[in-house]
Amino acid sequence: MALRLDRYPGVTYDAAPPEITDLEELRLLRKWEAAIGYRIFAAMRWGQIGDGHITARDPILTDHFWVLGYGIRFGDATVDNLILVGPDGQGVDGPLDNGVNFAAYHIHWPILNARPDLASAAHTHTPYGTSWSANVEPFRAISQESCALVFDQSLYGGENLEVNDVAGGEAIARAMGNSRVCILRNHGLLTGGRSPGEAVGWFVAAERVAEVHVKAPDAKPISEEAAKEVDASLCSVDMGWRMFQWLARDLVPDPSVVLG
């Protein structure tokens, strides 16, 4: 099947990400999902002061990643204004006039380097994720969505909020381990996925979980047994990608806008 990026694929209960074997097509798909992801963040009024990044591992140069060019508004993201960043932090392709977003490099490259299972990581400063992170506590099973994360989360306790070197990102990667979502102390949320779409889907879900925690500080969690039952039904392997599909259709109705 030819890759079509001017429309969204159908969503059913058993919908799954497309299986792409052509690496050039996979590169384009990952860039497309990352650009859609940035526009989702913009529609939710996140990243308005340049805070945050969505990265996409390049499937050909696997130690490189794509990220939105520095100084470009999230709502203007396209496949053509993502830049390719190498393992040394240098930009090698794309609109490089404004340089590389070094915060993205310092955080994301160590994570992608430590996690070959991930093709993407997503992070931005959100109203509830940042607020909850200041408690330096993990999520609890106090909502349906939270049951999908309580058994797959991590907490980074470092105070280096600027993350101004690779060592800081390596510390986050160690704390994150094999988890899907990492709560960064006093900083916010970070998620990983097998695709940019998956990372973005889980990020938005994590923000919703954080909102419940902030708004219901005295909530009584359900039992671990009950939470595991919800997790088993809600947390399918492709759920993050499916959540991205719903978000994209609602907030970026015409996917061709990111094709340049």
pLDDT one-digit tens code per residue, 159-175: 988 888 999 999 999 99
Residues 56-81: what's their mean pLDDT?
A: 96
Length of the chain: 260
The whole-number pLDDT of residue 2 equals 67
**Whole-number pLDDT of residue 11:** 79
Phi and psi at residue 199, to the nearest 5°:
-60, -40
Distance CA 170, CA 58 (A): 20
Interacting residues of 76 by C-beta distance below 8 A, sequence separation 6+: none
Largest CA distance in the chain: 53
Which value, in Å, is the radius of gyration of the alpha carbons in the chain? 17
Q: Would strands 53-57 and 181-184 be described as parallel, antiparallel, or unpaired?
A: unpaired
List of long-range contacts for 109-113, beta carbons under 8 Å, 24+ apart: 109/65, 109/85, 109/166, 109/169, 110/166, 110/169, 110/170, 110/172, 110/173, 111/169, 111/172, 111/173, 111/176, 111/190, 111/192, 112/55, 112/57, 112/65, 113/63, 113/87, 113/173
pTM value is: 0.96
- Domain 23-254: state its class: alpha beta
82 has which bridge partners? 68
Q: What is the mean pLDDT of the chain?
A: 94
The confidence band for 15, taking pLDDT boundaries of 50, 70 and 90, is: confident
Residues 82-138: pLDDT tens digits? 999 999 999 999 999 888 899 999 999 999 999 999 999 999 999 999 999 999 999
Q: CA nearest 119: which of 190, 183, 55, 32? A: 55
Q: Predicted confidence band at 236 (pLDDT cuts at 50, 70, 90)?
A: confident
Residue with tokens 């800081």: 168
Taking the C-alpha atoms of residue 196 and residue 34, their distance in angstroms, rounded to an integer, is 5
Q: Report d(CA 29, CA 35) in Å as an integer.
A: 10
